[in-house]
Structure 1
Amino acid sequence: MKKKKESCDTFMYEYEVDSRSPLMHLFWCDPIAKKNFMQFGDIVSFDTTYSTNRYSMIFAPFTGRDNHGRAFVKCMGLSPKLIITDQDLGMKVVVENVLVDTRHRWCMWHIMAKVAEKVPKSLLGNSVFKKDLNSCVWSELIEPTEFEDKWNTVMETYELEDADWFVSMFESREFWVPAYFRDFPNSSLIKTTSVSESQNRFFKRYTQSRANLVMFLMNFNNAVDAQRNKSAKLDYMDANTTAKMRTEWSVEKHASTIFTDYAFKEIQEQILEAYNHCSLISISNESSPEHYKDRSCMLPRLSCIEEQKLIPENLIGGRWLKSPLVKAVHAVQFEDVATHGYVDDKKKAQAILLGEMLELYQAVSVNIDQMHELTSIVREAR
């Protein structure tokens, strides 16, 4: 750590030892992690349940999602806008006292995973109950009062009004139900499957259960390198491939030039749905004036999408933009690249080839023998 600091001033680390000198705590953060936090640190997940080393020391990463929807790792002292943890009451006190400007929310994945343990056996295989509870809890489109009405209806219907766990979860609803976070930008991020759980599974691919500290740090660096290589590959693919359009609307073309492929595919589905609705209305208008008249109330909402040439600036935000645009939004230095242009077959082939090479590198980078073998193969091919 000291040598890293000497060669890179923006690298930081701190550690503590007890009275007999054994290491108690170690905290570190590199420059790339700081940039990640600057761009995507509005929502982070913090989990302290991952422990795989011979000293039984807990590894507790701060984890977020990048503009490709993938988890990234960072450890730093800056305050996020929102932090997600499990239901540990100690964490609740710490967040309130230390991260005073940060909103705290509990991980929905952890909470909902406990439902099967808390309901009577008669409800375990009841798909209707599961559907009713999920539609009540997971929706970010309903207001808090509507959630409370739906929750009470579910509790009464399935006779859970006096179940202690459900009572306590309702009392703590403002810490985990999306309806109470509707005012928070990108709130959809915080109701997905646990970011920390996903990240823990990822680290297990690179770590050994009885590793010492040096081995763990080497494995950690390999894991982070693999993530960053994957992100670099996705950035390259975004910059050098052209998405296939599914409508004739200019707004779809504009979306493809500014959003990452991950985000664009989600947006494209919504545009296609609106496009198909407009087509149906047009057919109805030609064949049945009365039917058209009955549905004319839909036209303003749909026609505004059709007439819209560009995505309105107030709907773009910064998280889901292509990486150069995200960096520009957050004032991070970057090289200018075109956000839209024709890509010929040769460029597409180049992008695919580079992507395959990056994946190969990522696959063998944790094993020196495999790296030597791949190097020999590449030299022979060249």
Structure 2
Amino acid sequence: MMSNSKEIYESITTKTIVAEINLSCNDEQIDSISLTSEDLQNTIRIEAESSNSTNESYCSNIIEESEYKPDVPTEFVPVVNSVFKSLNLAVKMYNDYAEMSDYKVKKFFELHNHPLESIEERPYTKKARKMSYFEKEFVVHASKAKMGPTMAHKIRAVLKGGYEYVRVKVTDYKNLRRGVNIILCYKDAQIMINKMNDRRDHYPNYSFEFLRDGDMLAVMFWADEREKAFYAEFREVISFDVTFRTNKYKMVFVLFTTVDHHKKSVTVGAGLLSRETTESYEWLINAFLSAHKGKAPKVILTDQDPTIKQAVESVLPNSRHRLCMWHIMRKLQANVTDDLLKNKDFKKRFNKLVWNMHIKPDEFEKKWELIINEFNLEDKRWFNDMFELHDKWIHAYFSDTRMSALMKTTSRSESMNSFFNTYSQFGNLLLHFMMNYDTSIQKQRNTQKELDHLTKKAIYKFISPRPIEKTCCKSLYKYIVL
């Protein structure tokens, strides 16, 4: 062992290069061979480490000697990823380099050699799998559309023309996403707050507020300039609904929704809550009002959640609180007998009464009482409770409010939640959630621009030849495209 160590010492101190080239190869030509100076350096390191069992400190001191750069012509200096036409040319080049720089190739260790790679094999090497900036950017952009690493890799392969042209493996895509999550997860909330504060500072008329609970993010609200413009025009009726499973922290996603001039649902604000408490909802609604200059909606539509009910009554005393008709009617089957539920006459009359868009309040009350008496429902608590709340969910009591007929249920908010869920998923970091939210909003507004364009290009059919009809049509269009 001592003799081996002495040989290594002599070879290094005399600037010996231990070349990992199989000198016994024949002169057969191959497409290309890649040799790097790193291979030579690794060989020296391996040889030094192999002798550490006898003289570790002695050899480690040798490795730490100052770097020596031979003074040789540039064309003879080994370059990383050099390509040679044949193995013999590679051997000749390194021998010439050793001779010109006063090195001596004294010994070759075939055990440490490795097979050389042809040009067809190079895409499968570890170095070829190194992800470029654009590759990483593609994975990040794919996640905005709720595409995981596996799907992103499939799409990349299709775009490139086949898997053989995608050198990076799907495992590398997964490792990148996992690595990003590991880096971000410990400061996810703070990064999110910094991002939103930056938007508030640089975007025109952007609102963002948040509340801490110790060192935890308790609740946050945001609304941009476009959402505020929608609210200013269509604030008569606002739907308020929550959804779950949008992020890894189980924070509740809250959407404020209204109906625009195309009868499409649009977002006028959004928030996240860590806990569904009355205090959290009160803070969120106050933040909503603050963003919209204190202008409360005429009607706010929610489900029968008691915490939301208390918050709405506390913060919006002058707004009429309407309950979702669909949620109420869904409970009908649980509060009647099976025989009555199968009674077609009862179901037809009851549904016609409740969903009637043109009935007056006094007429509704008379017909309700008639149905209750006819089907012996006087002692049913649910029917009595719903009648006490009739002015909070029957349309007859909201017919004086513009757009109330378009928003009788929270289905628009629930539809919007479903729309956002197509871009978001459970397990998202807050930063990823916001990226998905931005993508959803972009699609929503692009749809609106398309509808504006179709409206502008539409050909109107006039009933009469009078000029006033054409003038009114133009005025109406100006209002529609606000």
Is the TM value for this pair above 0.5?
yes
Q: Which has the higher contact order (CA 8 A, sep 6+)?
A: 1
| 1:6 match | 201
- RMSD value over aligned CA atoms? 2.5
Q: Trace 1:304-319 onto structure 2 (pairs within 5 A).
A: none
- The answer to whether the 8 A contact 2:323-2:409 is kept is no
* 1:17 pairs with 2:212: yes
Q: C-alpha displacement at 1:23, in angstroms? A: 1.2
CA distance in 2, matches of 1:134, 1:44: 25
- The answer to whether the 8 A contact 1:108-1:194 is kept is no
Structure 1 SS opposite 2:407: helix
Q: C-alpha displacement at 1:254, in angstroms? A: 5.0
Give 5+ residue unaligned stretches, structure 1. 260-320, 329-382
CA distance in 1, matches of 2:311, 2:470: 44
Sequence identity percentage: 38
CA distance in 1, matches of 2:426, 2:384: 39
Q: Trace 1:229-240 onto structure 2 (pairs within 5 A).
A: 229-240=446-457
CA distance in 1, matches of 2:471, 2:331: 39
TM-score by length of 2: 0.51
Q: C-alpha displacement at 1:211, in angstroms? A: 1.3
Q: C-alpha displacement at 1:118, in angstroms? A: 2.2
- The answer to whether the 8 A contact 2:302-2:410 is kept is no
CA distance in 2, matches of 1:242, 1:162: 58
CA distance in 1, matches of 2:309, 2:467: 44
Q: Trace 1:90-105 onto structure 2 (pairs within 5 A).
A: 90-105=307-322
CA distance in 1, matches of 2:454, 2:205: 29
Equivalent of 2:259 in 39, 42, 65: 65
How many positions carry a matched residue from both structures? 264
| 1:187 match | 404
CA distance in 2, matches of 1:10, 1:226: 21
**AA aligned opposite 1:176:** W
**AA aligned opposite 1:325:** Y
| 1:132 match | 349
- CA deviation string 1:70-95 (max 9, x = no partner): 10011132311110011123322222
| 1:29 match | 223
CA distance in 1, matches of 2:465, 2:357: 28
Structure 2 SS opposite 1:59: strand
Judging changes above 3 Å, is the alpha-carbon distance between structure 1 residues 234 and 6 closer, same or farther for their aligned structure 2 residues? same
Equivalent of 2:325 in 82, 94, 108: 108
| 1:202 match | 419
Give 5+ residue unaligned stretches, structure 2. 1-195, 270-287
CA distance in 2, matches of 1:227, 1:153: 46
- The answer to whether the 8 A contact 1:39-1:326 is kept is no
Judging changes above 3 Å, is the alpha-carbon distance between structure 1 residues 172 and 204 closer, same or farther for their aligned structure 2 residues? same
Flag the structure with larger Rg. 2
CA distance in 2, matches of 1:251, 1:102: 41
CA distance in 1, matches of 2:304, 2:365: 21
- The answer to whether the 8 A contact 2:324-2:409 is kept is no
| 1:52 match | 246
CA distance in 2, matches of 1:163, 1:17: 45
Q: Structure 1 residues 91-100 or 168-177, which shifts more?
A: 91-100
**AA aligned opposite 1:14:** E
| 1:272 match | none
| 2:232 match | 38
